């Protein structure tokens, strides 16, 4: 193999590869390597940890086709420090000579024969759709915050891609909160797929402003994301996701429209006093005074009460985890939101004031 490639493009691709190779399982040394394959006019880089695989295509001057695997972190760190010149890669046996300008290094690799085969998707049978890059980042970011880290409940460590009334939704819950977002309209095929949250975090990290859209392909056991010259393929989680729509209250005893920035500021201030009580704050709507308040009391520190004047149709209050409330507020894009009470023992529902596309519910704490 002999290839000439632009330094900046190669360094960025190798950095993407090293993120996946760094999470590989012990006992399979070759998975710590990146697979380099030169053919026609491109260099193809591949990394996998057997759960997720990333492939990136770089336009290159290929002098000699071939394949080799080299330690991902070492080559990524080395290339990132090279001058912004043409980088030459030349493989001979299980060694790769890398040079640029006056810099030259030889890295010991492993022949590609033992590199695992990449997961395949039958694209003809897969459910396929495209989504704009900005909408993808916004929607996935709004849902990821609710995914669980508890590996004893695998379904909750993922994001549930599901169709409902010909629209595709994504949802996640950790048992204490739930986020649901309309993702794509007009999807005719039925989809029920749990995508590992870790996969979506990786995909989010690979996105760049130069990309216009993400193409998503979903099969029975795999999901693939195509963005620019990058492909990410991941296994789906083999589990059943809860029937989460039954958990979302359909009516409210009190609905208050609030300024998002003001509510966020109030919650942050109350959270300072709530550290001794596990972050619990009390949100209360008072119909008599027309006020919405957020308060916290700490026996040693004192107390905090913040007030918003608004239209309050009925009185109600609930005790919430301040961190969960702030997480929901931080991902809302709209300047105003609807805050729905359903009694102090029922979850609160937060939605954008002028849209039904996003729903976030937070379970109450025992007051």
Q: Whose structure tokens read 């204490």?
A: 176
- Residues 261, 274 within the same domain: yes
Report the CATH number that the domain containing residue 88 is assigned in CATH: 3.10.150.10
Tokens of 280: 């619990």
Q: Considering the domain boundaries, does residue 122 fall inside one?
A: no
* Alpha carbons within 13 A on the beta-carbon side of 308: 23
Domain boundary among the residues 209, 227, 246 is at: 246
- Residues 107, 51 within the same domain: yes
Please name the residues in contact with 104: beta carbons below 8 A apart, sequence gap of 6 or more: 97, 98
Q: What pLDDT is stored for residue 180 in this prediction?
A: 98
Q: Considering the domain boundaries, does residue 119 fall inside one?
A: no
Average the pLDDT over 198-215 and give the result.
Answer: 95
Closest Cα partner for 291 from 270, 266, 274?
266
- Residues 165, 81 within the same domain: no
Q: Considering the domain boundaries, does residue 358 fall inside one?
A: yes
Q: Considering the domain boundaries, does residue 88 fall inside one?
A: yes
- Can you tell me the distance from the alpha carbon of 257 to that of 312, in angstroms, rounded to the nearest whole number? 9
Q: What pLDDT is stored for residue 26 in this prediction?
A: 54
- Residues 175, 271 within the same domain: no
User: What is the helix (H) or strand (E) element at residue 7, kind and residue range?
Assistant: helix 7-21
- Residues 312, 280 within the same domain: yes
Q: Considering the domain boundaries, does residue 222 fall inside one?
A: yes
**CB–CB of 158/237 below 8 Å?**
yes
Q: What pLDDT is stored for residue 300 in this prediction?
A: 74
- Residues 167, 267 within the same domain: no
Tell me the CA distances in angstroms from 245 to 79, 170, 171, 179, 365, one per residue in order: 49, 12, 10, 11, 21
- Angle CA 273–276–277, to nearest 5: 95
- Angle CA 16–328–332, to nearest 5: 80
Q: Considering the domain boundaries, does residue 120 fall inside one?
A: no
- Residues 205, 280 within the same domain: no
Q: What pLDDT is stored for residue 267 in this prediction?
A: 96
Average the pLDDT over 350-358 and give the result.
Answer: 96
**CB–CB of 305/298 below 8 Å?**
no
Average the pLDDT over 297-311 and give the result.
Answer: 87
- Residues 229, 322 within the same domain: no
Domain that holds residue 258: 248-362
Q: How many domains does the chain have?
A: 3
Q: What pLDDT is stored for residue 274 in this prediction?
A: 87
Distance linking the first and last C-alpha atoms of the chain: 67
pTM of the model: 0.93
Q: Considering the domain boundaries, does residue 121 fall inside one?
A: no
Q: Helix, strand, coil: what percent of the chain each, to 5?
A: 25, 45, 30
Q: What pLDDT is stored for residue 299 in this prediction?
A: 67
Domain boundary among the residues 79, 114, 149 is at: 114
Domain boundary among the residues 62, 86, 114 is at: 114
Question: pLDDT tens digits for 217-264?
Answer: 999 999 999 999 999 999 999 999 999 999 999 999 999 999 999 999
Average the pLDDT over 351-363 and give the result.
Answer: 96
- Angle CA 362–179–305, to nearest 5: 35
Q: Whose structure tokens read 């001979």?
A: 92
- Residues 87, 75 within the same domain: yes
Average the pLDDT over 144-162 and give the result.
Answer: 97
- Residues 182, 222 within the same domain: yes
- Residues 76, 37 within the same domain: yes
Q: Considering the domain boundaries, does residue 321 fall inside one?
A: yes
pLDDT above 90 (res 329) = yes
- Residues 74, 172 within the same domain: no
Q: What pLDDT is stored for residue 24 in this prediction?
A: 60
């Amino acid at each position: 193999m002999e290839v000439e490639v632009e330094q900046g493009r190669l360094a960025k691709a190798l950095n993407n590869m090293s993120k996946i190779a760094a999470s590989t399982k012990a006992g399979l040394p070759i998975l710590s390597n990146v697979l380099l394959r030169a053919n026609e006019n491109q260099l193809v880089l591949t990394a996998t940890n057997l759960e997720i695989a990333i492939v990136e295509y770089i336009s290159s001057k290929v002098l000699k086709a071939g394949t080799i695997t080299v330690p991902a972190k070492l080559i990524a760190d080395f290339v990132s420090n090279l001058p912004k010149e043409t980088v030459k890669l030349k493989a001979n046996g299980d060694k790769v000579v890398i040079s640029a300008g006056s810099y030259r290094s030889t890295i010991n690799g492993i022949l590609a024969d033992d590199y695992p085969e990449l997961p395949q998707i039958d694209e003809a049978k897969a459910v396929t759709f495209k989504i704009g890059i900005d909408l993808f980042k916004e929607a996935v970011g709004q849902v990821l915050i609710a995914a669980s880290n508890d590996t004893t409940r695998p379904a909750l460590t993922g994001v549930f891609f599901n169709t409902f009334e010909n629209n595709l939704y994504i949802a996640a819950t950790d048992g204490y909160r739930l986020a649901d977002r309309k993702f794509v309209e007009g999807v005719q095929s039925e989809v029920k797929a749990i995508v590992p949250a870790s996969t979506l975090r990786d995909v989010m990290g690979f996105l760049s402003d130069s990309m216009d859209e993400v193409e998503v392909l979903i099969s029975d056991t795999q999901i693939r994301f195509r963005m620019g010259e990058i492909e990410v393929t991941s296994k789906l989680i083999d589990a059943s996701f809860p029937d989460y729509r039954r958990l979302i209250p359909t009516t409210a005893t009190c609905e208050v429209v609030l300024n998002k920035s003001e509510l966020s500021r109030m919650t942050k201030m109350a959270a300072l006093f709530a550290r001794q009580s596990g972050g619990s704050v009390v949100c209360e709507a008072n119909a008599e005074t027309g006020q919405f308040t957020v308060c916290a009391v700490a026996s040693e520190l004192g107390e905090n009460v913040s007030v918003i004047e608004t239209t309050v149709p009925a009185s109600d209050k609930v005790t919430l985890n301040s961190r969960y409330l702030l997480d929901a507020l931080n991902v809302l894009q709209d300047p105003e939101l609807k805050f729905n009470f359903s009694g102090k023992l029922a979850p609160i529902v937060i939605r954008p004031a002028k849209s039904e596309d996003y729903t976030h519910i937070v379970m109450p704490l025992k007051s």
